[in-house]
Structure 1
Amino acid sequence: MRTQSNLLPEGFHDALPPYAEAASRLERDVLDTLASHGYVRVTPPLAEYEDGLTERMQGASRNDLMRFVDPISQRTLALRPDMTMQIGRIATTSLVDRPRPLRLSYSGQVLKLRSGQLQ
């Protein structure tokens, strides 16, 4: 018989009712409030090419990245440890022609590799 501790890695957990719904409702409420004040939502991907992601990292180490190889391009991909650098990339590339200041909102999951950060 498998125990719960054998199913998920340290720091990971299932969000169960009613907590999953409460967390989703809170996220929606925060994003709706931001939207009512003129913020527009952006959603960056969970993974990017490692070299592009690490160019924009400040205060984070390459050791903070979970890396794997893209089977199509054979380039190294990394899961984001923070979303801020991706929002900066979006602002300076895809939204470069938009009037400033930009009002962007975002939410999503990140992956922290250090055991003290896995909560």
Structure 2
Amino acid sequence: MRSSRSIQYRELFDQLHELSERVDFIVKVTEAPQYRRYVQWKSEQGQGNAEADTVQKQVPGLRVSRAGLNSDQGFGFVDYLGNTYPSGLLNLVAGEVGARTIVDIYRDSSLFRLLRILRS
């Protein structure tokens, strides 16, 4: 019998995987190898991203990502409270997802704008 915690993880993984299929940005779970195993399992069950699966079969070891925050245009980290950071390792809040969309925060926050200026 599964523990209630393992059921909660499975439900969360189901929600994250479903979200990753709907949105135009990459849903990335930091420090969660068990989620990567879950995504692999879904792919083996025929429930993964068909286009990415086809390309990955042709080029072993290639990880295909959809365009979005992690597509060489930038990165955003959202914590469990909805605070958005340029990185999980840079403790400067750029905005809150509950108040604005992640796209608005990335495009318009003064912190992300400053980082883009510094990068160029």
- TM-score by length of structure 1 reads 0.32
- TM-score by length of structure 2 reads 0.32
Structure with higher Rg: it is 1
Q: Which has the higher strand share?
A: 1
Greater RCO, CA 8 A, separation 6+: 1
